[in-house]
Structure 1
Amino acid sequence: MKAGIIGGTGKMGQLFAPIFERAGYEVLVSGRSTALTNEKLADTCDLVIVSVPIRDTVRVIGGIAPLLRDDQLLCDFTSLKVGPVAAMLRSKAAVIGLHPMFGPTVSSISGQTIVACPARTTDAALSSLTAVFTREGAVCTITTPEEHDRMMAVVQGLTHFVTICMADSIRRLGVDIKKTEKFTSPVYQIELSLIGRLFSQDPALYADILEQNPFVPEVIAACRSAAGDLADIVTRGDPEAFAEFFSRDSRHLGTYCERGQELTDALIECMVRK
C-alpha cells in the first residue's frame, strides 16, 4: 500500500510520514522542491492526503481530482472541512476529511485529537484509516464537515480572535511586556504564553482560520455583544448585575469550572517547579 502526502515536505507532512510508515505504508511526498509531481503522486498512491495551507487546499484538490479512481482514498489535513470535502467529492475516489487538532511541533500524536469527516467511504475503510492514528495513541472524533466547521468557529475562531484582541489591547495601551513580569501572576503567565505562541507563527494561518470559516462572523458577533454587555456593567459599577452575568456563564460551564481549576492548578504547579 502506498500513501502519498501532497505538501509532504512541510512540517505536518514530516510529522505524519513516519506514522504512516509504521502502519505499513510506503510513503511518497510531493512539494515545490520535489521531482515527484502532485499529479504523479495522485496516480500512484492508494491513499492521497492533501496537506497544504488552507487557502491553497481547494485549488490543489481541483488539480488532482480528475485523475483519481474509485479504488483510491482522498483525504486532507485542513482546518476547514466544508469547502475541501466538497472539492474532494468531485473526484471518483473515496473521501474522508481529516483535521489534526494540533500543530506539527508536537513530539507525538499520543493523546491528541484528530477529527475525521467521512463523506464517501465504507465503515471498513474509515476504521482502517483511523486505526493508523489510534495505534499511535491519538483520539479520533467522527463528525460531518458542517459540524466540524461550526465547532472550529468556536474552538479555533473564538480562541484566536480573543487572543489577538488581548495582544492588540496591550499594544494600544503601550504596556511594556517586560515590566509586567515584575507583577505577573500564574494566570497572566499562561495567557501571555498563549499570546506569544500565536504570534510566533504565520499570520496567514490565522487569517485563513478566521476569514474563511463561514461560521466565524456569528461567533465574533456574539463575542462583541458579550464584551459590550460586560463593559456596560463594569462601567456602571453594578456588582449585582456583574454577579448575575457571572453566574449565568458559570451555570453554562457546569462541572468544567471545577475541572478547569484542577487543570490550571496542575499547570501552575509545573510552572513553579521549573
Structure 2
Amino acid sequence: MRILIVGGYGRMGRWFVRFLQRRGLREIYITGRNEKKAVSVSRLLGVKVFQKPSPTFDIIIFSTPPSSIPQLYERYLGFQPNFFVEIASVKKSILEALTYPSNLLSIHPFFGPRVRSLRGKNVVWVHPKTPTAHERRFLDLFRSEGASVFYVPPDVHDEAIKYTLSLPHLFTLLLGRAIRSSEIDRQLISALSGGSFKKFETLLRSMALESPEVYSEIQLLSPSYSNILRDISSQLLSLAEDYERGVSQNFREIMAATTKYFSRKKDLSNKLENS
C-alpha cells in the first residue's frame, strides 16, 4: 500500500508516518509547502519525498490547517487514490465546501503528536457514515493499537469541539496573558500553585509547541462560537460587578449548578456508534 501524507513533515504528519510504519506500511511519501523541510524530515523518518512525475497512491492523507483542505483535495483529486483522509479538528466547513465527497474519510484523532500509546484514546470519523471496506481497514489500524473508534455526525462533532477544544484553548491563553500582565515572577507563580494551576501550565506549555495557524482556525471555524463568548463575557462582567459590591451569590450558584451537572455519571455506551 502506497500512502502520501500532505503536511507530512509537521508534528502530526510525522506522528502518522511513525504510526503507519509501526503497522507495517513502508511505502510512505511526504510533501508540503517547504520542500527543504520535507527532504530533511524524510531522511530522519526513512520515507520518500513526493516528486513529479509521481507514483499512484492508495491513500492520500491531509495533515494540514483546516482551511487548506478543500483546495488540496481539488489539487490531488486527479491522483485518484482509493480514498482521501483528513484529520482536522473542525469538520462541517470542510465537508460543506466539498459537498460531502464520497471518497473522503473525515476523522479526528483526539490526541496530539506526543502520544505514545493509543490505548484509551479516541478516534472518531464523521464522514462517510458507512465507510468502505478500504476505509474500514484504515480505521482498524487505530483499533489494533488500542484506540476506541466510533462515528459521530459532523454537526454534533463541531458543536462539541467548541467546548472541548476552542474554549479550553482560549481560556488557557487568557490565563497565561493575565499572568504575563501581572509581572509576578513566573517561577514564584509556579511554586505557589496547586494541582488546578499545574494542569493549565501543562496545557500552556503544550500549546507553545503547536501551530498558531491551526489553533486560530479552530477558533474561527467553530460554529456559533461568538455567541458563547458573548454569553461568557456577560457572565464575567456580572461577576465583576458582584465582587466590586462584595457579593458572591452568583458565583456560588454557578459553582453549585456546574458541579452538580458534572457529578452525574454518564453512560455513553448507547450514544457512541462503534463499528
Q: What residue identity is the alignment partner of 1:155?
A: T
Q: 1:183 to 1:36 in 2, by over 3 A?
A: closer
Instruction: Report the Cα distance in structure 1 between the residues aligned to 2:16 and 2:128, rounded to whole angstroms.
Output: 22
1:1-42 Cα offsets, whole Å, 9 max, x none, are 33332222322222222433444544422314355248936x
- Measure, in 1, the Cα distance between the counterparts of 2:165 and 2:249: 32
**Cα-Cα RMSD:** 2.8
Please name the residue that 1:11 is paired with. Answer: 11
Q: TM (normalized to structure 2)?
A: 0.79
Alpha carbons of 1:181 and 1:16: their partners in 2 closer, same or farther (altered >3 Å)? closer
- TM-fit CA distance, 1:157: 0.5
Q: How many residues end up aligned between the 2 structures? A: 252
SS in structure 2 at match of 1:117: strand
Out of 139, 154, 157, the residue aligned to residue 130 of structure 1 is 139
Residue by residue, what CA displacement relative to the aligned partner does 1:56-91 show, whole Å, maximum 9, x if unpaired? 22221221135436xx11111111111333455576
> Which SS does the other structure have where 1:4 is aligned?
strand
Aligned-partner Cα distance in 2 for 1:137–1:166: 35
Partner of 2:125: 116
TM (norm. structure 1) is 0.79
Percent identical: 22
The residue identity in structure 2 corresponding to 1:56 is S
Higher relative contact order (CA 8 A, sep 6+): 2
Q: Which moved more, 1:72-81 or 1:4-13?
A: 4-13
Q: Which structure shows the higher helix fraction?
A: 1
51, 54, 77: which is aligned to 1:40? 54
Q: 1:24 to 1:171 in 2, by over 3 A?
A: closer
Select 1:204's aligned residue among 207, 213, 226. Answer: 213
Whether the 8 Å CA contact 2:60–2:85 is kept in 1: the answer is: yes
Q: Could you tell me whether the CA contact under 8 Å between 1:65 and 1:90 is conserved in 2?
A: no
Q: Residue 77 of structure 1 corresponds to which residue in structure 2?
A: 87
Q: 1:184 aligns with which of 186, 193, 211?
A: 193
Which residue is 2:70 aligned to?
A: 58
Q: 1:228 aligns with which of 227, 237, 258?
A: 237
Task: Return the alpha-carbon distance in structure 1 between the equivalents of residues 95 and 3 of structure 2.
Answer: 19
Structure 1: tracts of 5 or more residues without a match: 257-274
Moved over 6 A (4+): none
3-state DSSP class of the match of 1:40? Answer: coil
Output aligned runs, 1:10-29, within 5 Å: 10-29=10-29
Matched letter for residue 57 of structure 1: I
Say if 2:66 and 2:90, in contact at 8 Å, map to a contact too: yes
Other structure's SS at 2:222 match: coil
